[in-house]
Structure 1
């Protein structure tokens, strides 16, 4: 038989102390993950946090071996806690970040999101850090991709709003003019008017309205904004003059739309009677425009509440010589109105009128066919 090999030196049974050390080494990663997940408990947090960060933890252990075990653990725990809390709040929408560091992390994770940048600015303003908020706005403008025009525009508007509230009139106007060189100037004027109007800075509102109506005289929305402002200031004469000026500047093809929108503004923030006058003037020239009748009826039904006036308008509309398809639409609306606001008699009246129209239309159709 060959000589038996002595294995006592290489495969000796481990001592009790060595077993404890091995067991501790095996349990340590799980214990670290458990400790790194302090805070709100529940399967949602475990599933959301453990998977994304375990690989990161291992990389940090390997690349930062020179750090003490305690320092590495503290850094890892702090970083994971911030990530976990910020992401949880962002995803669940239950609370906003509570530190500038959390906002920084969110901004860097979604650099093109104006929503996050603006929230970050608002957070700093709430702490009284106005200059810091300005710096964040500046960073946002430089960071957001140039293709994301709306996102950049949102930041400019938020910045102007903050400057209007916490800066001087001079700094506000400087920022407004700067923004206009980097974004849609017409949209910026409209936003500035809203900001100054909301904060009751009448002089600035009027300056902006005058400038934008001069620079963008062929844009309907600037004229409508000017008319709306006059109406909210109870300046009916000013609104009328602005409307007349708009018709001289806008393409003729847009005159009906301009008049219709002005009538709607009268119903909404001005005098409904003036709105009716405008609608009547339009319909006198375009009596077969079903869309105009429909809009006019909408205003009378929703704004005036005068059933007699509404019924009178329906009667006029349903006695027009319009194609059957358009008349069907009008009778259907009339019938729906009576079912909601009338009685059996009024409902029957509409049904009878509709049947009479159908009979007349069929007679004309049959007569035409015979010929």
Structure 2
């Protein structure tokens, strides 16, 4: 009877609320079982549910919108990964299903076009491009631009000159015309469509006669064609159309193009000519030196540094030139060259101090 009463008291004690003293006691290790006797809390499911409820209460409208966008992006990225993996769509129906969640993705539309072209269905590929222009959100200019470029590529490959020019004309009306002209010149140059390339160059130089980017693209095209006379003529024409404030930019970048796509000697000649008129333009000296360093002719490089560091320039600009020269000697020269630069720099500092 006493044992039963004792057991009852013990059982009731486990149901009774803990005293303050008991609550602050650290859990003790049960020496028999090896486990700590911890106070039982809510289940993991209850914790998760509680956190979700708290999150729902705390999320603002903006946060909810951001979370929804993140979820949509994750879904779209998952769909795009399908295009690149083993589970890539293998039928028109699968592409159509993919477009339901990725209607604004030019990547998906262009892949769909390529799939149809691989089946020989050029007309259907054209139709898909037209659908893309209607389906892609009007704010997604870059996505629509990509589809226009893809369609122009299609016409350039499978159409004729008439359909290609017609497509280009439509694209120019619905996209950034300058960018589209530049994209078209790349397409026509790669495919060696000389007639289309010439028409494109003529049209864009007339429409964007005040754009150095357009003129420089034409200069580069002429150099790639090996036509140095046409490149020089293009430079001369550009200077007649461009504002004077753009002349130095146009001439110096033409010199850069000569180094990269034409003849380095002509590039040097252009730089020398412009430096005669603007001998104190540090940016021109720096770019000229960069090109000579890339050619690797150490004698020319050192001669250029010598000339530049003997100019009457402000101390800050001279410091920049001496540092560049010193960096060059440390990286590609020798101890003798490094010492020479240091002595030249010291001589300049002393001359400034005496003046």
CA–CA separation in structure 2 for the residues paired with 1:173 and 1:310: 48
Per-residue deviation, 1:90: 3.8
Per-residue deviation, 1:315: 0.7
Map 1:115-130; keep pairs closer than 5 Å. 115-130=107-122
Output the aligned Cα RMSD. Answer: 2.2
TM-score of the two chains, using structure 2 as the length reference? 0.75
CA–CA separation in structure 2 for the residues paired with 1:281 and 1:244: 14
Cα gap change, 1:320/1:85 in structure 2, threshold over 3 Å: closer, same or farther?
Answer: closer
Residue 232 of structure 2 corresponds to: 240
Residue 136 of structure 2 corresponds to: 144
The answer to whether 1:290 aligns with 2:282 is yes
The answer to whether 1:315 aligns with 2:302 is no
Residue 80 of structure 1 corresponds to: none
In structure 1, the residue corresponding to 2:217 is in which secondary structure? helix
The answer to whether 1:185 aligns with 2:177 is yes
In structure 2, the residue corresponding to 1:109 is in which secondary structure? coil
Contact 1:267 1:299 in 2 (8 A): yes
Contact 2:208 2:214 in 1 (8 A): yes
TM-score of the two chains, using structure 1 as the length reference? 0.71
Q: Name which of structure 1's ranges 144-153 and 133-142 shifts more when overlaid on structure 2.
A: 144-153
Contact 1:86 1:102 in 2 (8 A): no
Per-residue deviation, 1:96: 4.0
CA–CA separation in structure 2 for the residues paired with 1:84 and 1:359: 66
The answer to whether 1:339 aligns with 2:336 is no
The answer to whether 1:280 aligns with 2:272 is yes
Map 1:296-307; keep pairs closer than 5 Å. 296-302=288-294, 304-307=295-298
Unaligned runs of 5+ in 1: 1-82, 365-371
Cα gap change, 1:271/1:92 in structure 2, threshold over 3 Å: closer, same or farther?
Answer: closer
Contact 2:219 2:234 in 1 (8 A): yes
Contact 2:255 2:271 in 1 (8 A): yes
Partner of residue 125 from structure 2, selected from 133, 146, 156: 133
Map 1:218-229; keep pairs closer than 5 Å. 218-229=210-221
Q: Name which of structure 1's ranges 165-174 and 306-315 shifts more when overlaid on structure 2.
A: 165-174
Residue 363 of structure 1 corresponds to: 354
Partner of residue 343 from structure 2, selected from 341, 352, 366: 352
CA–CA separation in structure 2 for the residues paired with 1:355 and 1:107: 68
Residue 325 of structure 1 corresponds to: 316
Task: Provide the aligned length of Structure 1 versus Structure 2.
Answer: 281
Per-residue deviation, 1:349: 0.4
Unaligned runs of 5+ in 2: 1-74
Q: Name which of structure 1's ranges 116-125 and 331-340 shifts more when overlaid on structure 2.
A: 116-125
In structure 1, the residue corresponding to 2:100 is in which secondary structure? helix
Residue 103 of structure 1 corresponds to: 95
